[in-house]
Amino acid sequence: MAITPGKRMLRALKGERLDKPPFWLMRQAGRYLPEYREIRSQAGGFLDLCFSPKLACEVTLQPIRRYGMDAAILFSDILIVPYGLGQGVAFKEGEGPVLDPVRNASDLSRLSLDGFHERVAPVYETVTRIAEALPKETTLIGFAGSPWTVATYMAEGGGSKEFVAVKRWAYGDPEGFGQLIDLLVEATVSYLSRQVEAGAEVLQLFDSWAGALPEPGFRRWCIEPTIRIVAALKARHPDIPIIGFPRGAGTLYVPYATETGIDAVSLDTTVSVAWAAEALQSKLPVQGNLDPILLVAGGDALDREVERILSGFSGGAHIFNLGHGVTQTTPPETVERLARRLRA
């Protein structure tokens, strides 16, 4: 493919094979950085940090200053959407997110798009601030959770290992559960569209719990809503690249990548590089997929795995990333080691 000018991240998303893949890391702004912990201590609660444009902009920029990633991702959370719809959302130290559960039509009636943009307006201001502050070569990524994953948190009232509440609703009352998915599709399109208008240059959809579903449910609750979101966003913003991340999808990565209309697919740690290069990278750019714990371990183990991934995806468009987010116990020095290797 002919070389095109512009940001390396955007070039890779157009399908260009680069001599050095662009890189960024999921959760690259976070608790492993001492400068983040200092800001976090000033902010109050986690949602207070997400809704402070000044502070959220600052923590978004911190890893860019340290490591020079090719992309910055908005510092926010996927549960901003249910918060914007009127669901009670809180983050408790040591527990993570806690939500007032939504498990039936009566619960769903409490949610509404009315006032959504007003409730989440600080996020749009954060995007604008980041876009103005980033180095000219750095791409800004906006994001949202995919409907199935967000619905999981909404129905379970937080994280889950067995997904009993959300699956009971989805299997037992698919029409009623579909109303929640429809609401989330509409909210997600509107939310991401505003992020683009505020300055986001790429969008990523995080379907973190996609792997919890068997194939029929995966097609109905992951693929179909993603098709609708991507189509609606492309109708409003034809040139915006969209990355999909159906974590845990296994072989269902193929229909997800080829049927949803996404521009690139992000791979979790379990995906075989050789398989993905043949089955996925031959069709669209891929992103991933270093095990985040290798950033904790560091040393030769990290170096070997980086080389294996770079070699395995060297034949096509590739964005280097993790298979999930940076963990809290990651030494900042190992991220610097990774960054130096990827820039070399």
Q: What are the Cα distances from residue 59, in Å, to 28, 56, 183?
A: 10, 5, 31
Residues 6+ apart with CB under 8 A from 315: 17, 277, 281
Q: Is the pLDDT of residue 3 over 50?
A: no
Residues 6+ apart with CB under 8 A from 94: none
What is the mean predicted confidence (pLDDT) over 49-65? 98
How many CA atoms, within 13 angstroms, populate the side-chain half-sphere of residue 172? 9
Burial class (CB in 10 A: 0-12, 13-18, 19+), 133: middle
Residues in the chain: 344
Query: What residues are labeled active site?
Result: 27, 31, 40, 77, 153
- DSSP β-bridge partners for residue 96: 92
At 247-282, the pLDDT tens digits run 999 999 999 999 999 999 999 999 999 999 999 999
What is the mean predicted confidence (pLDDT) over 4-16? 91
Q: Is the pLDDT of residue 243 over 70?
A: yes
Token duo for residue 127: 């995007």
Per-residue pLDDT at 1? 33
Nearest to 63 by CA among 23, 97, 96, 98: 23
Per-residue pLDDT at 139? 98
DSSP structural state of residue 18: P
Yes or no: say if 265 and 282 are a contact pair by the CB < 8 Å rule: no
Yes or no: say if 155 and 101 are a contact pair by the CB < 8 Å rule: yes
pLDDT band at residue 206, thresholds of 50, 70 and 90? very high
Q: Is the pLDDT of residue 93 over 90?
A: no
Q: In percent, how much of the chain has pLDDT > 90?
A: 96
Strand, helix or coil for residue 99: strand
Yes or no: say if 83 and 97 are a contact pair by the CB < 8 Å rule: no
Yes or no: say if 134 and 67 are a contact pair by the CB < 8 Å rule: no
Yes or no: say if 233 and 189 are a contact pair by the CB < 8 Å rule: yes
At 149-204, the pLDDT tens digits run 999 999 999 999 999 999 999 999 999 999 999 999 999 999 999 999 999 999 99
Whether the predicted model's global pTM rises above the 0.85 cut: yes
Mean pLDDT of the chain: 97
At 286-298, the pLDDT tens digits run 999 999 999 999 9
Yes or no: say if 229 and 190 are a contact pair by the CB < 8 Å rule: no
Q: Is the pLDDT of residue 323 over 60?
A: yes
Token duo for residue 198: 């505020």
Lowest average pLDDT, out of 87-96, 114-123, 285-294, goes to: 87-96
- DSSP β-bridge partners for residue 51: none
Strand, helix or coil for residue 142: strand
Per-residue pLDDT at 5? 66
